[in-house]
Amino acid sequence: MVVANDLSSKILPRVLIVSRRTLRKNKYVDFVGEYHLDLIVSSGAVPVIVPRVNGIHSMLQSFEPIHGVLLCEGEDVDPSLYADDELSGLSPEDMEEIKKAHAEDMTIDREKDSIELTLARLCLERNIPFLGICRGSQILNVAAGGTLYQDIDKELGTTMTTTNHIDYDNYDGHRHEARIVEETPLHKLFEEMEIMVNSYHHQGVKRLAQRFVPMAYAPDGLIEGFYDPNRYDPKEGQFLMGLQFHPERMRLPGSDEFDYPGCALVYQEFVKAVIAFQKKQVNATQVEMKRKTTTLVKSFSQAEFLEANTVLSKQQENRLKQMGATVRNSCVYMKRMKMKEEQERAMDKLSAERLSDMLSFHHMMARLCSNAIKRKLLEPEHTDRTIESSFFLNY
């Protein structure tokens, strides 16, 4: 865990989190669960909230740089985004029953779907660390080509006597068993083969996308966690995981203590990957800038032309010298800019009182110097020398 005071002088990596909206006082309000934010900050990254507003999906490039993405809770994913030849077999009567049982969750939010699918696909394409919680895991699976159960009870045949995946009357206290697959990241994080997980969903992964491997199952066979084995190495900036349960909310009654240490470790390993990813990006940028600078200098190098015994006209020679001077001047300019930045950083560390004292001192020195110059100019010796110099020139 990172102490906040240690972060003040660092440029921290950015984790994008898409907000969820709710109706409050007849107006929509965007929000993100604070548990997620606390865990991201305490692990050493900055959460950047992407508002769920119309049109934001086409403006996501403005949120660059993106060092990680965390997608969490929300309404059902639009079935048209993953529907294929696999029919759900749900009748109109079934759909009506589902809507009555899960009225709030059945509301489709196409803008949120669009924003989150765009971010998930971006992470898949650019190897950006990604953690999906609950709906976020479903979005990840759909983005990678998988499908979902529109309703677990109806399609999987799950009942409350086997595995109850949601309990509206005991939202935070409800748990069900999850069997962890050995030698998976989840097994290493929780160090258990069976854990009791919370559950707030009526949908879930049906056909897991080909690139993913299951990490945990509910007793009814539903996948509770999955990851990409080719994209999981937090120290190297690789993390691609989806969890159907909510580790951030798995806490002892009336306490902030987690049910298992692995609950917090999930976020810590994710942020570890985010930090490593940012470092790789910075290093790659520096290498590319150095390469471009070297190429530029070589292109404008006078020695390169002379070594090739190229016969140059006077105009070409002058132009070559000008370009060489431009490169040299640019290097001097960059050094001055760097020095200026260092001076500004040093000044920023001073208190306002100290800066005020320094400003007063410089004003006083300016007045003293100005008065001294005036006295020098009015001295007889200075006047005589001016006359002598004038006489000599006239002579």
Other beta carbons within 10 Å of 326? 12
Structural contact between residues 31 and 19, judged by C-beta atoms closer than 8 angstroms: yes
- Structure token pair of residue 321: 């010298």
- Exposed, middle or buried: residue 242 (CB in 10 Å: 0-12, 13-18, 19+)? buried
pLDDT at position 153:
80
Q: Reply yes or no on whether the pLDDT at 326 is more than 90.
A: no
Residues 6+ apart with CB under 8 A from 361: none
In 3D space, the residue among 193, 199, 188 whose CA is nearest the CA of residue 135 turns out to be 199
pLDDT at position 276:
96
**Alpha-helical segments (H) within 244-313:** 262-299, 302-307
Structural contact between residues 215 and 183, judged by C-beta atoms closer than 8 angstroms: no
d(C-alpha 12, C-alpha 392), whole Å: 70
Lowest mean pLDDT of 122-136, 205-219, 284-298, name the range: 284-298
Q: Reply yes or no on whether the pLDDT at 207 is more than 70.
A: yes
Across 151-169, b (16+ Cβ under 10 Å) vs e yields bbbbbbebeeeebbbbbee
**Quick one: which H or E segment has residue 16?**
strand 14-18
**Quick one: which H or E segment has residue 180?**
strand 176-180
d(C-alpha 226, C-alpha 218), whole Å: 13
Q: Reply yes or no on whether the pLDDT at 79 is more than 90.
A: no
CA atoms within 13 A on the CB side of 49: 14
pLDDT at position 223:
96
The residue with greater pLDDT, 81 or 367, is 81
Structural contact between residues 77 and 135, judged by C-beta atoms closer than 8 angstroms: yes
If you search the block for the tokens 């056909």, which residue do you land on?
Answer: 207
- Type of residue found at 88: S
What is the share, in percent, of the chain residues with pLDDT greater than 70?
A: 74
**pLDDT mean across residues, the chain:** 81
**pLDDT tens-digit map of 81-136:** 987 555 566 666 666 666 666 656 667 889 999 999 999 999 999 999 999 999 99
Whole-structure pTM value: 0.70
In 3D space, the residue among 232, 228, 242 whose CA is nearest the CA of residue 273 turns out to be 232
pLDDT at position 100:
65
Check residue 3 and give left, alpha or beta (phi > 0: left; psi -120 to 50: alpha): beta
Lowest mean pLDDT of 136-140, 164-168, 219-223, name the range: 164-168
d(C-alpha 39, C-alpha 42), whole Å: 5
- Type of residue found at 107: T
Q: Reply yes or no on whether the pLDDT at 142 is more than 90.
A: yes
Choice among 57, 102, 201, 246 that is catalytic? 246
Structural contact between residues 8 and 61, judged by C-beta atoms closer than 8 angstroms: no
**Quick one: which H or E segment has residue 119?**
helix 110-126
Averaged pLDDT for residues 365-381: 76
Choice among 134, 202, 263, 269 that is catalytic? 134
d(C-alpha 113, C-alpha 344), whole Å: 44
d(C-alpha 226, C-alpha 325), whole Å: 58
Which sequence spans correspond to the domains of the chain?
14-283
DSSP output for 127-159: T--EEEETHHHHHHHHHTT--EES-HHHHH---
**pLDDT tens-digit map of 230-270:** 999 999 999 999 999 999 999 998 889 999 999 999 999 99
d(C-alpha 386, C-alpha 395), whole Å: 14
7: pLDDT confidence band, cut at 50, 70 and 90?
A: very low
The residue with greater pLDDT, 123 or 301, is 123
pLDDT at position 395:
40
pLDDT at position 1:
56
248 is catalytic: yes
Q: 14-283: which CATH number, 3.30.2320.80, 3.40.50.410, 3.90.180.10, 3.40.50.880? A: 3.40.50.880
Averaged pLDDT for residues 57-74: 91
Choice among 75, 116, 224, 248 that is catalytic? 248
Q: Is beta strand 68-71 parallel, antiparallel or unpaired with respect to 130-133?
A: parallel
174 is catalytic: no
